Every structure is written in C-alpha cells, then in structure tokens.
Amino acid sequence: MSTIIKINHKTSRMDTEKYSSLHELDYSVKKEEPDSDKETIFQETTLKRHLTLFSVVVMLVSVTGHIAVFITPGSILHMSGSVVTTLVILCVGSLLVYTQALCFTEMGCMFQSAGGAYLYLTLTFGNMYGFLVVWGYIILISGPFIALASQIAALYVIKAVTSNSSCNLWWHEVAVHLLAGWLLLTLAVFNCFFLRVLVRMQSFFTACKMLAIGIIIVGGIYFSLTDSALNITEPLEGSHFEPGRISLAILYVIFSTGGWQSVTTLTEEVKNPARILPLAVHITFAVVVFLFLLTYTSYMVVLEKQDIIEAKALALMFCQHLWSPLVPVMLILVALTCVGTLSTTIMGHSRMLFAAARKGDMPSLLCTVHPTKRTPVMAICAVILNGFIMMYSGGMVKLMQFIGLYSMIMGLKVVVALLYLRLTKPQLPRPYKVPLFVPVLQVFTTMGLLCLIIFQEPRWMSVGVLISLSGIPVYLVGVRWRNKPKSYIRFIGYLTACIQKLLNLVPC
C-alpha cells in the first residue's frame, strides 16, 4: 500500500500556537486508507488536485513578467543608461529571480499544501511571521496589482474600439472603471464555479501573450535588416555604473519578471508537485527570459532611447513606428494578456488567504469551500473586494511602487527559512533539493541590494516597512486576543453560519 505525507491541517488555532518550532507539527508518514471515513472526509474538504505539468507551465508563463514587458521596460533603461547594461542587468536580475523560484520550489515540494510563502514561514518560525507575510502581500501586492491589471485590460479594450481623441473625454475614465469592475466580477464567478474552464482558457491567454511578444520580436528583426538602429550602433553610450542606480534597475527587473509567486500557492492543486513544480520552473524561466531578451532588444532597435524611457504603453508605440495597422491587434492581445494574468493572480492570491484562514490567522469564513467544485469561494471574493477598494480609492499608484521591494523582502524571508530548516531539520523529506550555494548566494545578494535601495530611497523603504509592520497590532488584536466579548463571538459565528448556508459552503 502506498504512503503519503500529510500536514495536519485540522490543528486548531489554539493548539498551533503551542508549537514553538517545526518539529512539533505532525509530519509523520501515514498509511493511506482510502476506504476509511476519515480519508473520505479529507478528500471532500481539501482543494482538488487537477493541475498538470502543462497547466502549471501555461499559468507560469502567463503570470511571470505579467504585463510589464508591454508597459514599462523604460524604467530599467533609464537606470542603466545603455543597451548593453540594460540587457546585462536583465540577465542578472532574471537569474536572481530564477534562483529564488528554485528555493520556493524546494519549500513547495516539502509542504505540498496551499499557502505559499505564508505556509512556509508559519510552519518554520510561527504564526506571527506568516501573518505579516500575508498581511503585506495582500496590501502591497495583491490589491494594487489586481486593480492595475483590470484597469489596463479595460483601458486597452476601450482604446481598441474608440478613437484616440476620445480618450480624454469625461466618460472615458468612467467606462474604464465600469469595464474593469465587470471583468473582476466575471473572473470571480469563473474562479469560483468554472475553474476547469478557466484553466483551459489560460492556454488561450498565454498564446495571446506569446503572439504579442512574437510580433515585437519579428518586427525588431525586420527593422534591423531594413533600417539603421541608432541604439545598437552605440550600445554602451550613456551607461551608468553607480551602485544605487544598478540596484534600482535590478529591482525593476524583479518586478518585471515577478508574478510567479502566486503559482506557488497552488501546490495543493497540483497532481504531482514533487515532479511538476521543478520542471515547470525550469521550462518557464528558460522561455520567459529568452523571449524578454529578444523583446527588449527589439524595442531598442526600433525606438529611440528617450522614447522608450518616456513611453507608458511601449508596445503600442512600437507598433505605431513599425506598422500602424498592427495597433488595434496589439491592443486586443495586450488586453487578453492582462485578463490571463489577472485570472492566475486571483487564483493564487486567494489560496494564500485560504491557507491563512485554515490555520486560524484569518476569519474562518475564508477557509470555506464549495462542496462540489472545491474552490475557496469566500477567499476569492475577499481578493476581488480588495481589488475593488484599491481601484476606486485612488491610492493604487503609490502602493504599486512597493511591489518589487516587498517581493524581494518576502523572498529573502523564505530563503532564510529554507536555510534554517536545512540546519535544524535535515531529516525532513525533500523531494526536490536545491544546491546549498543557491540560497546562500540569494541571502547575501538580496541583503546587499536592500542596503543599496535603503541608501538610495530611504523614505520609500521606511514607508513600505511601516505598512508591513502595521500588521502586528492587527495580529495581536484579531488573532492573539482570546478573551473577546461573547456577544462579538456569537455575532461572528452567526454571520459565518448564515453566509455558509446562503452560499452552500462547507468548512475546510
């Protein structure tokens, strides 16, 4: 009879706090008993394993780099100053992100459950560390990014069906917000009740992204064969080598190649994580980095340096310079790419909330699932609501500046947790094991970059840290405070039960 490694998800919140380290948790190897009632209940209340290697690769390719390759590569060029330094920094930053993804993969293969970075840090260092990760992730990454992606998708659709002159009319912003809101609601319904359909559609969205990148690459090759490329003739002109500028350029690369973290929260839904996750990461980064290098080079072949730096919609400017009839095609392709990225992001971010609720660090309502679809309905609704708040609050732009920085900090925490487990718990089963020099190099490189960024942007860094640390009082009041008023507890219990009955949800 086969054996399986299970994490005891049914541990109560009060019991979880008694564990001071990972060795006190239940990681025992148990015999699988498919005929037992307990095993039947477990299978009914966990998320369904339905993601194959192809599905994971498709989602990773779609979400890695999200839409940054079409919007703002000029930020990297502005900090690096020349073609050669931009491409070198892109390679260095991509290598840093790739090795970090390998560290996440080792942790994901060890803990084959939903939650991603939240789960890794909770099981390694305790509940507060995990709570601060999910708190900062939802505020500084999830909400702003979902709002941005939905608005960009709506903006590109409206630009495709209207003339450019109408973009400044009073109704344009209203139309963008309405269409973005409709898109979020539609994706929420599909994530909750038609997940299989959405996973199949993800292949189409990824194909749209690849087609858009292919148009840019082919256009760059054609242009280089027929016209003179000013940026390529002087590839080192204007290079900057100041440590502060280089560190900020690498930070932009981390943002531009980010997004893959959301897929690590889907481990519980992958059929064979120990085999599929490492393969998917290797394939994805080989494809994405190669295509991004060709895309950046094509931009610099066709467009002048200053145009690249100042452009907000670089793919559109590229098509206008190359062949204007391609503009509406590119608009539609970028809009569909945004939809695919948004879909995977909602899927991944909701699983982090779901995992936090299942461990008792978020309201228990968020860990309820649909009885037949086995999707975390309330966690998905919470992520969508957060996106709506960010979209209509007007503070989204400032919060977006922290995405790359917080991704770096969160990645550093996970790598430190990996090294800690290597030292203290070498006996834990590791289906995939990254070479030791990779996490060690990650720690020193990331800490060095953070020091340079603090020196370059002290106010920016302090604000991001304060927003992240604001989760401490929330944790102390919402999670650690036991003696809450009985009336409050009764009200929350009654509200939770009513919503579960109304939406036909079961606890997990």
Q: What percentage of the chain carries pLDDT values higher than 70?
A: 85
Residue 182 has pLDDT above 90, yes or no: yes
> So what's the pLDDT on residue 230?
57
> So what's the pLDDT on residue 360?
83
Are 86 and 79 in contact by the 8 Å Cβ rule? The answer is no
With vertex at residue 425, the alpha carbon angle to CA 422 and CA 427, rounded to the nearest 5 degrees, is 100
- φ, ψ of residue 138 in degrees (nearest 5): -70, -40
> So what's the pLDDT on residue 69?
84
Q: Is 83 exposed, middle or buried (0-12, 13-18, 19+ CB in 10 A)?
A: buried
> So what's the pLDDT on residue 26?
38
> So what's the pLDDT on residue 391?
80
Residue 339 has pLDDT above 70, yes or no: yes
Q: pLDDT (tens digit, 9 = 90+) per residue, 1-39?
A: 333 333 344 333 333 333 334 444 433 333 333 343 333
Among the listed residues 294, 310, 313, the one whose alpha carbon sits nearest the alpha carbon of residue 219: 294
Instruction: Place 94 in a pLDDT band, splitting at 50, 70 and 90.
Output: very high
Instruction: Place 236 in a pLDDT band, splitting at 50, 70 and 90.
Output: confident
Tell me the average pLDDT across 427-433: 91
Q: Residue 400's beta-bridge partner residues?
A: none
Instruction: Place 440 in a pLDDT band, splitting at 50, 70 and 90.
Output: very high
Tell me the average pLDDT across 222-227: 80
Best-predicted range by mean pLDDT among 60-69, 259-268, 406-415?
Answer: 406-415
* DSSP for residue 426: T
Among the listed residues 375, 454, 41, the one whose alpha carbon sits nearest the alpha carbon of residue 197: 375
Tell me the average pLDDT across 339-367: 86
Tell me the average pLDDT across 321-337: 87
Residue 225 has pLDDT above 70, yes or no: yes
Q: What percentage of the chain carries pLDDT values higher than 90?
A: 21
Give the sign of the dihedral formed by CA 314, CA 320, CA 326, CA 332: positive
Pairwise pLDDT comparison (407 vs 34), residue with the higher score? 407
Tell me the average pLDDT across 341-363: 85
Beta strands 29-31 and 368-369 are unpaired
What's the whole-number average pLDDT of the chain?
Answer: 80
Pairwise pLDDT comparison (394 vs 71), residue with the higher score? 71
Report the 10 Å Cβ neighbour count for 239: 14
pTM comes to 0.77
Q: pLDDT (tens digit, 9 = 90+) per residue, 44-57?
A: 456 678 788 888 88
Q: pLDDT (tens digit, 9 = 90+) per residue, 248-271?
A: 888 888 878 877 887 777 788 888
Instruction: Give the CATH number for residue 307.
Output: 1.20.1740.10
Tell me the average pLDDT across 261-288: 87
When divided into structural domains, the chain yields a total of 1
Give the DSSP per-residue string, 232-300. HHSTTTT----HHHHHHHHHHHHHHT--THHHHTTGGGBSSHHHHHHHHHHHHHHHHHHHHHHHHHHHH
Pairwise pLDDT comparison (376 vs 27), residue with the higher score? 376
Q: Which domain holds residue 420?
A: 3-507
Tell me the average pLDDT across 300-328: 84
Pairwise pLDDT comparison (450 vs 392), residue with the higher score? 450
Average the pLDDT over each of 146-155, 159-168, 178-187 and give the range with the smallest value. Answer: 159-168
> So what's the pLDDT on residue 394?
57
